[in-house]
Amino acid sequence: MPPEPSESSLSEWAPATQLLNLGYDAALSEGSVKCPLFQTSTFAFRSALEGKRFFEIAYGICERRPDENVGLIYSRINNPNLEILEQRLCVHDGAERSAVFSSGMAAIATTILTFVKPGDVIAYTDPLYGGSDHLMTKVLPSFGIQTVPIAADASLPSMRGILHEVNQNGRLRMMLVESPANPTNVLVDICGLALLLSSMGNGDSRPKLAVDNTLLGPVWQQPLRHGADLVLYSLTKYVGGHSDVIAGACLGSARDIAEVSALRTFLGSILDPHSAWLLMRSLETLELRMERSAANARAVADSLRSHPKVREVLYLGHLDPESTAGRLYATQCSGAGSTFSVRLVGGEPQAFQFLDALRVMRLAVSLGGTESLASHPASMTHAGVDAESKRIYGISDNLVRLSIGIEDPCDLVADVRQALDSVAG
């Protein structure tokens, strides 16, 4: 059997190539070309001394030697499928390490609780995904954590003023950003915020910048390369991409992710082996799927732009390149992705008529799958957001969010146009 490529040679390959090879040695699995599913709860030790050493490392009793691997113990702590997946997730984002979770919300909650304690402050950009909004406005305050919303489209000087005010006693520990924002596609200046937060302390005293990159995914935006400390994903979306798995991830420096992983062990929010195995399968086609869905999204967005029953298309690819947002997009993103929102002429009745008339697109929440989906954020994903916040941040009754899949683009364009034609004028 030919030798497996070394990790050093793999690093010279393109991401699409690495995602089929990184972290897996076929010789350790009877020559299987694909990584098998390690559907096991526990792992046998070769000796009692080995078991003792593995637990010493896992519980932080002893430091791991530079050339020492963390041995397999129990699938709440580690598992071959998870370890290979975590290596491969780092490729696009350029992360040192990643940790995978049972859902995107598990990743967000565990990461925040790792670095933000009772009495601390966390700032966040609004709007956020509805689940994240509920965590900020209802759950974290009940643990004695102060949460401070900042409009996603606020200028950097405005953000600076708010952040310095809440950090007067050095209590600001983190800022959580969604860029683009869900569901309005507002971009946040990641590099500018990273520089701003870096001026507010040194080392562990500096507030961390965490970016939820779910809407663009690792192909079209890499927040760590723009100064973010942590990047968060609902892997359910583009990375999973087949609407058959729930998962999340946090990526960053080896030191930060070691802390996140330690808390994950004791909260029990780790991903299961089968879901990790499914995600490894999906990663192999990530670029192909995202490129096709992005091209389809451009066709659909362009077709909607001039329709008389459409008030506005919130699509990144339509930004004026000379505008502030357009320049930020050109600097921060390599593509517009395939999720965007549309404001229709009218209100909720017209939005519902449009949604009910779709034939190819399916009426469902989520995004980033092979199939196209349409939803009504104000009454669905963001139903728990208070009415005033919806008004301020543009989550209006006439707003429809579209996630474009990999179907034939002509069918998708025809579908949205016939659905619009059915809406009462």
Catalytic residue among 93, 212, 256, 397: 212
Choosing from 24, 124, 126, 129, the catalytic residue is 129
Residue 52: which residues within 8 A CB-CB, separation 6 or more? none
Task: Using alpha carbons only, give the angle 118, 119, 125 rounded to the nearest 5 degrees.
Answer: 90
Tally the residues of the chain: 425
Cβ contact 316:294 at 8 Å: no
Per-residue pLDDT at 29: 85
97 is catalytic: no
Is 320 an active-site residue? no
pLDDT bucket at 424, cuts 50 / 70 / 90:
confident
Helix 273-283 / helix 80-93 crossing angle, nearest 10 deg: 40
Domains of the chain: 75-283 (3.40.640.10), 287-421 (3.90.1150.10)
pLDDT in tens, 241-266: 999 999 999 999 999 999 999 999 99
For residue 69, what pLDDT band results from cuts at 50, 70 and 90? Answer: confident
* Letter string b/e over residues 341-355, b meaning 16 or more CB atoms within 10 A of that residue's CB: bbbbebeeebbbbbb
Before 127, cis peptide (omega within 30)? Answer: yes
pLDDT tens per residue across span 120-172: 999 999 999 999 999 999 999 999 999 999 999 999 999 999 999 999 888 99
Distances (CA, A) of 270 to 74, 104, 323, 419: 11, 11, 42, 41
129 has catalytic annotation: yes
Among 173, 237, 343, 401, the active-site one is 237
pTM score, two decimals?
A: 0.93
- Structure confidence by residue, pLDDT tens digits, 169-199: 889 999 999 999 999 999 999 999 999 999 9
76 catalytic? Reply is yes
Backbone φ and ψ of 342, nearest 5°: -130, 135
3-state secondary structure of 354: helix
Q: Is the pLDDT of residue 389 over 50?
A: yes
